[in-house]
Amino acid sequence: MAALAHVSRPSRNEQLEIHSPYDGQLVGTVTPASPADIAAAVARAKLAQAEFRFSMPFERRNLLERLAAEIAAEAEPLAQLLCAEVGKTITEARNEVRRAQNTLKLSGDAATFLDGEVLHCGIVAGGVDRQAVVTYGPVGVVAAITPFNYPLNLLCHKLGPAIAAGNAVIAKPSPKAPLTVERLAALAERAGFPNGLFQLVHGGAEQAITLARSQIDLLSFTGGAVAGLALRNAAGLIRCLMELGGNDPLFVMPDADLDAALRTTIAQRFEIAGQSCAAVKKLYLHADIHNAFLDNLTEAVAALRHGDPRDPETQMGPLIDIDAAAFVERRIANAVGDGATLVLGGTRRGALMTPTVIKDVRLESALFAEETFGPVISVRRFVDPVIAIAEVNSGAHGLQAGVFTTDHDTVKLFSRTLQVGGVMINEGPDFRAEHVPFGGIKSSGLGREGVRITLREMSETKVVID
């Protein structure tokens, strides 16, 4: 446990530049990995894991706690780096750094509770007087491919449980946000991670496919459905855990705490400029409160301060790049062309978009029917919740949903009939606790994240009968 971690140092000289989404300034560079670099990283990981698999749970917990402590010691520089390379506000960046520490600490705690069980084989006529001892061991080498929106905490959601289960990890961060992850790898060295146990390879889709095709034992991916399918096909017959996004609704009933629903809508749609997989993308307002709620929503959104993410007063920064912002701008324009009404916003300056509210969007419009990664709320009036639920269930995604109501029968209706991985009551769909299962159905993914359940997902079951 005393040797240092290894950050893969690719052999090619080409550099990938990372620029601030807000002002275009160069933040840093990384070198994309070659196929030989990736193969070498996998070989190192296998050697490291062959020894680490026999580590004790308390050793794994101590390792993760030391990494969490290293993050805490550099919390502000990490937050500033996140703010610069991703464009999230400094407040959002500081929150992500805090959550990453919690994820690692909870993973360390979970390492000490990866319990098995003993089953008797003589429970039916003809059974034998034997006992089956069921235990959970590591799968081996985990490939962790992560997106740009939460580059630190989403990697910790893969790294923490993988290490807690006794695995090695090779991470490939988004080419749009690799620098914070580079710093995490350096902190892992300082924390005493064994050589080869946690490595990085950089690059885009080419490197992701190469890593998926390599001799890994489990692939954990967070990103889009198209990329997820390509990676799953490339990986072949290994276990795949995939969180592939969502088109998440928030329902507000007439009996709800409307002030709380309004605050949640604002917070969970415009965080990191709407670039969250479980953000409030579709706002279903009951007809009885639609007009008044929409008026209050419009006023609140108009008051949002958007601009320089480094300013502590800024509430929303830019999208990840100009192309992403232009894509959202086109979706808004197409929806308006199809008959939607633009209530507020819809303009763009570089990668910075104005917070946007739009209503009367057709169900078939891409803005409403597909996941839109940007700061725009599509508002829909409804009368019958059964019909509104059917609309949501007919979509391709099924990540999470939120419902604001004080009526128990309404809670039962939504929680039992919505086809999603999680239903948040009097909360928005973007709510997540680090130790709670998180993931979706249909095109939203395979398996679940959340420290405790991921620990099992990243373990193999073994049975010994004697």
CA 281 to chain centroid, in Å, comes to 16
Token pair of 202 as six digits: 């950089």
Token pair of 9 as six digits: 């140092």
104: left (phi over 0), alpha (psi -120 to 50) or beta: alpha
DSSP 216: -
Residue that has been written with the tokens 């988004």 in this structure = 174
Among 224, 223, 206, residue whose Cα is nearest residue 214: 206
Q: Is 89 exposed, middle or buried (0-12, 13-18, 19+ CB in 10 A)?
A: buried
Residue that has been written with the tokens 């670039």 in this structure = 275
CB atoms within 10 A of CB 132: 14
Q: Which pairing describes strands 376-382 and 356-359: parallel, antiparallel, or unpaired?
A: parallel
Q: Is 277 a catalytic residue?
A: yes
d(CA 415, CA 310): 39
d(CA 133, CA 170): 31
Q: Is 83 a catalytic residue?
A: no
Catalytic residue among 70, 85, 243, 371: 243
Distance between the two ends of the chain, CA-based, in angstroms?
33
Among 353, 296, 355, residue whose Cα is nearest residue 329: 353
Q: Is 403 exposed, middle or buried (0-12, 13-18, 19+ CB in 10 A)?
A: buried
Token pair of 266 as six digits: 């604002």
Catalytic residue among 277, 329, 434, 449: 277
Among 169, 176, 134, residue whose Cα is nearest residue 151: 176
Q: Which amino acid is at 279?
A: A
Token pair of 297 as six digits: 């929503």
Close Cβ partners of 78 (under 8 Å, ≥ 6 residues apart): 71, 93, 97, 152, 180, 183
Which residues are designated catalytic? 243, 277
